[in-house]
Amino acid sequence: MKLCSDLLDADSRTFDDAPFDTISYELCSRRSDVIMVSADLSKYTQMHSLKKKLPDQHLEVGMAEQNLISVAAGVSKAGYIPIATTFACYATRRAYDQMLICMGTSPLTNIVIGFTPGIANPARIHHQAAEDLGMIRAIPGATVIDPMDVTEFDQALNTAVDTPGLVYMRGHRGNTPRLLDPAAYTFQLGKTYQLRAGKGIGILSTGHATQWALEASAKLEHRDVEHSLLHVPTIKPVNEDEIAEFCFAHDQVVTIENHQIVTGLGSLVAEIVSDIGRGPRITRLGIPNRWAPGGTLPYIRKQLKLDADQLADQIVDVL
């Protein structure tokens, strides 16, 4: 694979089991002012070590997401940095007003992590959050991050604890690939990362979908289709110049996201390009504005034409 840097090597990816177990424990070990707050899902977000070894830095509010967000906001007003953790669907849909009012209007650092975002949950509709990025990026002053892997998740969270205001980020759990080399990669808020340089079709992706984009990129390379790939981990505040420069260097742009094609990365890129005018055509790939199916991730991806082969086919079709 022709990459512009040594940030990653998709052919030798490793897998982390229970990444947030390590990330949450190590962060709290370094920062005694961080409190991890959970709403009866700490077992499923995998905060095992923290609960055992640093119980004072874990706060359980029960199965009550409005309380999760508003109690966490209160904890910030006592001088701590709260990190509210639950599934993305509950954090955003169930407690949107609390996130906007209690955290969004506060200058204090308030972090919310939404796990199993998009179609990364087998239970259809109620457990899938296909609209979280769009909801939170609509909040003035909010920070929104969709990390592509464990390396970026870890580094972005360590950046978030020093970022004022509401920070919403998507989390990774379970047996999760580590694509970015922690020794070579440094997350910077707002920065975009070119994972493949080239002409032809310009592909932008974010979060989990950057893994899918890399898979599709390998297929395209095999088919001799020229393309480049830009990873956009920060949805807000976004570096508009970097995105515009990338898009205007191509005649055809494709966005790939683990999110509805409405209000997410595709919409964001379209807004930036249309504000300038006379830009490339933009094709948005992701979850359509209809209910996604349930099941295993490979099954859902295939149904939504988001598996590597169908993604590559759709990218070729834009030419």
Partner 1 sequence: MRPNDRAGSNLMRRQELELLAAKIRRNVLDICMQRGGYAGQGVALADIAACLYFDELRDDTKGWFHDRFVLSNGHDAIMCYGALAEHGSYTMEELRTYNADGTKVDQSPIEGQLGFEITAGSLGQGPSQAAGIAYGERLKGSDKRVYCLFSDGELQEGNVWEAAMFASHHQLSNLVYIIDNNDLGATGSTTDTLGVEPVPEKFEAFGFAARRINGNNIEEILNAFDEARQIHDKPYVLICDTRLFVGIDCLRAVLPMAHYVAAKDADWEAGLTEINAKITSLTNRL
Q: What is the nearest approach in angstroms of partner 1 to the Cβ of residue 207?
A: 29
* Among 11, 12, 56, 222, contact with partner 1 (rule: CB under 8 A): 56
| x-marked contacts with partner 1 along 18-47 as a string, rule CB under 8 A | -----------------x------------
Q: Which is nearer to partner 1, 76 or 206 (CB)?
A: 76
Smallest separation, CB 48 to partner 1 (Å): 22
Strands 176-178 and 14-16: antiparallel
Which residue in the set 8, 34, 54, 75 belongs to the binding site for partner 1 (CB under 8 A)?
75
* Nearest C-alpha neighbor of 83 from the set 146, 151, 15, 31: 31
Question: What distance in Å separates the CA atoms of residue 303 and residue 310, rounded to the nearest whole number?
Answer: 10
Residue 135 in contact with partner 1, rule: CB under 8 A? no
Minimum CB distance to partner 1, residue 134 (Å): 21
Mask for 104-133, x = binds partner 1 (CB under 8 A): -xxx--------------------------
> Residues near 165 by Cβ (< 8 Å), separated by ≥ 6?
103, 104, 106, 107, 108, 109, 110, 141, 142, 143
Q: Out of 66, 158, 252, 314, point to the residue binding partner 1 (CB under 8 A).
A: 66
Nearer to partner 1, 71 or 133 (CB): 71
- Six-digit token string for 127: 């457990």
Q: How far is the CB of 35 from partner 1 (least distance, A)?
A: 8
Cβ atoms of 165 and 295 within 8 Å: the answer is no
Residue 232 near residue 204, CB atoms below 8 Å = yes
Residue 242 CB, shortest distance to partner 1, in Å, is 33
Q: How far is the CB of 53 from partner 1 (least distance, A)?
A: 17
Q: Does 140 engage in binding with partner 1 (CB under 8 A)?
A: no
- 59 near partner 1, rule: CB under 8 A: yes
**C-alpha to C-alpha distance for 295 and 178, rounded to whole angstroms:** 23
- 7, 34, 36, 61: residue in contact with partner 1 (rule CB under 8 A): 61
**Residue nearer to partner 1 on the CB measure, 66 or 239:** 66
| Interface pick for partner 1 out of 64, 244, 304, 318 (rule CB under 8 A) | 64
* Binding span for partner 1 by CB under 8 A among 97-105, 183-191, 266-274, 310-318: 97-105
Write down the least CB distance from residue 226 to partner 1, Å: 51
Residue 255: closest CA among 171, 311, 196, 197: 311
Cβ pair 155, 185 in contact under 8 A: yes
Select the span of 42-50, 60-68, 118-126, 212-220 touching partner 1 (CB under 8 A): 60-68
Q: Is 81 in the site for partner 1 (CB under 8 A)?
A: no
Residues that bind partner 1 (CB under 8 A): 35, 56, 59, 61-62, 64, 66-67, 70-80, 82, 97-98, 101-102, 105-107
